[in-house]
């Protein structure tokens, strides 16, 4: 058994295990459904023989008719129930798979997210899972059920006569031999189709996200050409995979004609010795058609399995990806007197391109450091390293004597609030946006934070309080209000350290006062690193660090730097420092 097939069955076991009762119910229905499929032709055969016997027993014929109708009706009802349960089971299991894929994706480091396009990620998580749901919803019914039908037909035909039994057995073996001799032809084409589909989605996402740059630069025709190229490749791959899949169906149509011919020849030449009658001939021809359908379904499932194997390969590859940020720390995060040290730290997003070089500074308990520097100087990178979105190439970040890696990620990030420039909001209630959907946080806790930050007036203007839906007809937030919401999130965590990448957008005076008041309360009694974009914000800090091209070019207490006319910070204040605050 190939590693992929083993992994396929391990996935089935893992995701079907929580629904074992549903699986057992489906299994019982499949057995009953396929038993009826063998039984129904027998009833009609008995009816035909009785009708052709010349002695009309109307009561027997009526009873046979009613049994035939009831069996057919039950057969159809079971088919509907079976289909419903299989679809339900498929969506339950693949939704669990989507959750696991999404959770795994979230826990991967930022290097992975920077490399993979959004469209590719959606296709990996949702596209591959959807294809598997189609496979899971039909595999149990058609693949396993088809083998039951084939087995039942062979047993029934052997009972009718060994000549017919051997003929049907030979036909079945030849059909399966033909199928399995060409099954490996299809898999590469399906895998190539999935890859070209992913590339197409990635191209669409890339084009849409870059629309602001594409339109002003007149690159629309080039983008359309690329889209056409990706679409054409996807179309060709789809045609090839569909063409090779149809070989199976052409093969079974030919084999159906052959088996019918063989039955008629046997019935003609051996009618005297075998004693065949009309009812038995009907039964054999019906079983010949019946056994063909399961073979075709098995072929279909093999096609789908080949497609699913391509998806399963990609899912396995996705699960095999490991985060470079190891979460092996066991230290308890300190409750007070927190001292954070950058110890000769160097870092680069690419190994050969350092964006921070030999960074050394101390953040003492309850002190505030302001980071100043032009875009690309490394300010935001410092914030990301503290939050362990990345790990340094050299040196270390130390917290009370232990490196950041010594603390569990959950504890580290729970005790550090990172407020970014771009506030991520969801189309959900205000409470869900503040709590990130954490149901353990009560309304009272959220309201207390809102009041403590002095945001009651803003909150009172909302139409439905905490249940007001953000970015709907109810509530649309300004840039300043988004900042207020972000500060509320941070305050709710009750962090020990605050990292603030201040929003560079201009705010109206009223909102700016609210932001200033909220920020003052958030920073009170806490250590903080502030990436400042406005001069008033730097008045809150104790120390200043000026960065240029990933290096500290000046550092010291704010008061000393301001009073020192030779300092770069003093010069920037007097000459205007907008360029260093962007």
pLDDT in tens, 46-69: 888 777 776 667 888 888 889 989
Which tokens hold the place of 278?
């009309």
Q: Which tens digits make up the pLDDT trace of 461-492?
A: 888 888 888 865 556 677 777 888 888 888 88
Give the residue, 406 or 257, on which the prediction is more confident.
Answer: 406
Residues 409, 481, 365: CA angle, nearest 5 degrees: 40
Report the pLDDT averaged over residues 547-559. Answer: 91
Go through 461-479 and write b for each residue having 16 or more CB atoms within 10 A of its CB, e for each that does not. eeeeebebbbeeeebebee
Q: Where are the alpha helices (DSSP H) in 323-408?
A: 379-386
| Residue among 422, 451, 426 nearest 437 (CA) | 426
Report yes or no: 340 and 399 within 8 Å, Cβ to Cβ.
yes
Structure tokens given for 28:
């019982």
Other residues' Cβ atoms within 10 Å of the Cβ of residue 266: 17
Distance separating alpha carbons of residues 495 and 329, to the nearest angstrom: 19
| C-beta neighbour count of 118 within 10 angstroms | 14
Q: Is 431 helix (H, G, I), strand (E, B) or coil?
A: helix
On the question of pLDDT at 579 being above 60, the answer is no
pLDDT confidence of residue 216? 59
Of the pLDDT bands very low, low, confident and very high (cuts 50, 70, 90), residue 179 is low
Q: Are 39 and 71 in contact (CB under 8 A)?
A: yes
440 by DSSP, 3-state: which? coil
Summarised one tens digit per residue, pLDDT across range 194-224 is 788 878 877 777 766 666 666 656 666 767 7
User: Strands 394-399 and 340-347, how do they pair?
Assistant: antiparallel
> What is the rounded average pLDDT of the residues 518-545?
86
Q: What is the mean pLDDT of residues 131-149?
A: 75
pLDDT of 77 > 90? The answer is yes
Please determine, for residue 275, whether its predicted confidence score (pLDDT) is greater than 70.
Answer: no
- For tokens 């056409």, what's the residue? 228
pLDDT in tens, 98-129: 889 888 888 888 877 777 776 677 777 877 78
Which domains, and CATH codes, for the chain? 8-320 (1.20.1560.10), 340-425+477-581 (3.40.50.300)
- What does each C-alpha distance from 197 to 191, 227, 301 come to in angstroms? 10, 12, 21
How far is 563 from 396, CA to CA, in rounded Å?
32
Q: How far is CA 66 from the centre of its chain?
A: 51
CA distance 517 to 455: 9
pTM of the model: 0.69
Measure the CA–CA gap between 208 and 122, rounded to whole angstroms.
15
**Mapping DSSP to helix (H, G, I), strand (E, B) and coil, where does residue 408 land?**
coil
């Amino acid at each position: 058994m190939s590693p992929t097939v083993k992994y396929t069955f391990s996935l089935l076991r893992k995701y079907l295990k929580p629904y074992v009762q549903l699986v057992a119910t489906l299994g019982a229905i499949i057995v009953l459904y396929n038993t009826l499929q063998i039984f129904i032709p027998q009833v009609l055969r008995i009816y035909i023989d009785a009708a052709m016997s010349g002695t009309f027993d109307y009561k027997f014929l009526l009873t046979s008719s009613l049994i035939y109708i009831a069996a057919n009706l039950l057969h159809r009802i079971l088919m509907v129930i079976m289909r419903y349960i299989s679809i339900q089971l498929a969506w339950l299991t693949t939704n669990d798979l989507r959750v696991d894929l999404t959770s795994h994706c979230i826990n991967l480091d930022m290097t992975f997210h920077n490399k993979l396009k959004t469209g590719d990620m959606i296709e990996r998580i949702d596209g591959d899972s959807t294809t598997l749901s189609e496979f899971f919803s039909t595999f149990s019914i058609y693949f396993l059920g088809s083998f039951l039908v084939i087995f039942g037909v062979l047993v029934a035909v052997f009972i009718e006569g060994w000549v017919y039994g051997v003929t049907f057995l030979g036909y079945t073996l030849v059909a399966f031999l033909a199928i399995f001799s060409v099954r490996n032809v299809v898999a590469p084409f399906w895998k190539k189709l999935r890859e070209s589909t992913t590339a197409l989605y990635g191209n669409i996402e890339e084009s849409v996200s870059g629309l602001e740059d594409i339109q002003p630069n007149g690159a629309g025709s080039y983008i359309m050409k690329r889209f056409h190229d990706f679409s054409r490749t996807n179309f060709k791959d789809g045609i090839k995979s569909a063409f090779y899949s149809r070989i199976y169906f052409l093969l079974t149509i030919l084999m159906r004609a052959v088996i019918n011919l063989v039955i008629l020849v046997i019935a003609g030449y051996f009618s005297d010795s075998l004693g065949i009658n009309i009812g038995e001939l009907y039964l054999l021809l019906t079983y010949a058609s019946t056994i063909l359908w399961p073979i075709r379904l098995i072929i279909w499932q093999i096609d789908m399995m080949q497609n699913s194997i391509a998806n399963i390969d990609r899912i396995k590859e996705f699960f095999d990806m490991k985060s470079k940020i190891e979460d092996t720390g066991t230290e308890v995060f300190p409750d007070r007197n927190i001292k954070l040290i950058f110890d000769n730290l160097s870092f680069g997003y690419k190994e050969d391109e350092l964006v921070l070089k030999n960074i050394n500074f101390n953040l003492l308990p309850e002190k505030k450091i302001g980071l100043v520097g032009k875009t690309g100087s490394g300010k935001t990178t410092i914030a990301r390293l503290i939050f362990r979105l990345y790990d340094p190439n050299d040196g270390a970040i130390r917290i009370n004597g232990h490196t950041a890696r010594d603390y569990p990620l959950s504890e580290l990030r729970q005790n550090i609030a990172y407020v970014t420039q771009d506030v991520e909001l969801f189309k959900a209630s205000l409470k869900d946006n503040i709590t990130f959907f954490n149901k353990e946080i009560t309304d009272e806790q959220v309201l207390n934070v809102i009041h403590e930050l002095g945001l009651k007036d803003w909150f009172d203007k909302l139409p439905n309080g905490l249940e007001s839906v953000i970015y709907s007809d109810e509530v649309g937030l300004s840039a300043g209000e988004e900042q207020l919401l972000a500060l509320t999130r941070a305050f709710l965590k009750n962090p020990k350290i605050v990292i603030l990448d201040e929003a560079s957008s201009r705010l109206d005076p009223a909102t700016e006062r609210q932001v200033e008041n909220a920020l003052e309360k958030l920073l009170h009694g806490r250590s903080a690193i502030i990436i400042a974009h406005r001069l008033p914000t730097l008045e809150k800090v104790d120390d200043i660090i000026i960065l240029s091209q990933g290096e500290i070019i000046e550092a010291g207490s704010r008061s000393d730097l301001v009073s020192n006319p030779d300092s770069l910070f003093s010069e920037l204040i007097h000459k205007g420092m907008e360029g260093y605050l962007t």
